[in-house]
């Protein structure tokens, strides 16, 4: 069923970018491009009363919470405060109960959670807030890696620009690819991005472990390009393979080879971002040996291929490197 009515919920401390994403997809007249117009309403606590926003400007909704109920889609942007108006939560619950699809952008998922809509359901939010969402709503099935989660009448998206992905996905689901592609072209964004949040999460520096075990980890990090096995690492640490493997899990939370692979991927990310080395050379330097093996593990851990990752995050271009060395 095509979406025709869209109501956006706004409260104090609404995030302007996330609200703007919703407006950009559903609030603009694109009938000249043969895109059906949406009956778009901005709903707040009191029509005509300004709300403060995340950037200290004000926003004045023209409609009240009652206009959330019965809309085909209720869209909830990120809200900075967690002191949600009980009337807003009640309206969101009633809208969901009456058949509305609920879509959240970034921390808007917390509003849906406070309304009781995340209980037992898969969902996501910005990776920085994922642990807090899981803590606050323990029965929610929080996926920290994806750009958005479609669970039928509940769609939750990750941080900021992932809201664009979720909105366009919903348009594609309900109205087809032609409409979606037209909107995406006007917004100058891809109609569908690949990968998930994993590619945007900065991996932490590896834990060093205890003082006695840290030298073993440091040696591995300095020698990622060498072949390693549990047997060879245990021999170097003067332990049996079984004792070394057990100690390693106790120190790092990962098996030896899982940890080594994670660090090789992390090192490959840094080489992709900061050098112009080709993929074969990066595979050698990071210890994967072949480009095929690098691609396999990189996509499994990061969610995209090494080449796609470099296109998005490279800080050094071949031209800049040549100019610097001239």
pLDDT of residue 218: 86
pLDDT tier at 315, thresholds 50, 70, 90: low
Q: Which tens digits make up the pLDDT trace of 276-307?
A: 999 999 999 999 999 999 999 998 888 889 99
Place of tokens 């021999």: 235
Q: Is 32 exposed, middle or buried (0-12, 13-18, 19+ CB in 10 A)?
A: exposed
Which of 151, 156, 152, 153 is CA-nearest to residue 167? 156
Give the pairing of strands 148-150 and 73-76.
Answer: unpaired
Which of 145, 103, 128, 113 is CA-nearest to residue 3? 103
Q: Is the whole model's pTM more than 0.85, yes or no?
A: no
154 in Cβ contact with 162 (< 8 Å): no
For residue 169, give both structure tokens. Answer: 């996905």
Q: What SS3 state is found at 199?
A: helix
Which of 299, 289, 195, 207 is CA-nearest to residue 252? 207
Kindly state the average pLDDT of the residues 205-216. 68
Which of 138, 139, 137, 173 is CA-nearest to residue 155? 173
Neighbours of 62 (CB within 10 A): 11
Q: How many residues does the chain have?
A: 326
Cite the beta strand spans of 54-167 per DSSP E. 58-59, 73-76, 101-104, 122-123, 141-142, 148-150, 154-157
Q: Which residues contact 130 (CB under 8 A, 6 or more apart)?
A: 124, 142, 144
For residue 200, pLDDT beyond 70: no
Q: What average pLDDT does the structure give for the chain?
A: 88
For residue 105, pLDDT beyond 90: yes
Q: Which tens digits make up the pLDDT trace of 152-187?
A: 999 999 987 889 989 988 998 888 878 888 898 888
Which of 300, 80, 109 is CA-nearest to residue 199? 300
pLDDT of residue 270: 84
For residue 320, pLDDT beyond 60: no
pLDDT of residue 255: 92
For residue 203, give both structure tokens. Answer: 């991996």
pLDDT of residue 227: 94
Query: Domains in the chain, start-ordered, CATH in brackets?
Result: 5-197 (3.40.50.880), 214-321 (1.10.10.60)
């Amino acid at each position: 069923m095509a979406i025709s009515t869209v109501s956006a919920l706004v409260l104090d401390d609404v995030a302007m970018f996330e609200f703007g994403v919703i407006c950009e997809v559903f609030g603009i007249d694109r009938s000249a491009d043969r895109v059906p117009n949406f009956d778009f309403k901005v709903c707040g606590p009191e029509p005509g009363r300004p709300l403060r926003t995340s950037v200290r400007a004000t926003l004045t909704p023209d409609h009240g919470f009652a206009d959330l109920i019965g809309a085909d889609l209720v869209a909830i942007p990120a809200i900075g405060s967690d002191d949600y108006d009980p009337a807003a939560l009640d309206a969101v619950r009633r809208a969901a109960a009456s058949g509305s699809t609920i879509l959240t952008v970034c921390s808007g998922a917390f509003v849906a959670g406070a309304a009781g809509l995340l209980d037992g359901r898969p969902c996501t939010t910005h990776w920085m807030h994922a642990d807090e969402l899981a803590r606050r709503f323990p029965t929610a099935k929080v996926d920290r890696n994806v750009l958005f989660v479609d669970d039928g009448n509940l769609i939750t998206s990750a941080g900021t620009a992932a809201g664009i992905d979720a909105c366009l996905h919903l348009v594609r689901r309900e109205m087809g690819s032609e409409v979606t592609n037209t909107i995406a072209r006007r917004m100058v964004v891809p109609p569908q991005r690949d990968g998930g949040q994993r590619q945007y999460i900065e991996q932490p520096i590896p834990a060093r472990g205890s003082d006695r075990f840290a030298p073993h980890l440091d040696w591995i990090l300095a020698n990622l390009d060498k072949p390693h096995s549990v047997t060879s690492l245990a021999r170097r640490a003067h332990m049996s393979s079984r004792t070394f493997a057990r100690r390693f899990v106790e120190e790092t939370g990962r098996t030896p080879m899982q940890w080594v692979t994670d660090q090789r991927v992390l090192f490959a990310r840094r080489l992709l971002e900061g050098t112009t080395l080709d993929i074969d050379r990066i595979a050698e330097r990071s210890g994967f040996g072949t480009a095929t093996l690098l691609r396999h593990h990189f996509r499994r851990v990061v969610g995209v291929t090494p080449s796609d990752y470099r296109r998005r995050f490279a800080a050094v271009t071949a031209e800049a490197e040549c100019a610097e060395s001239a």
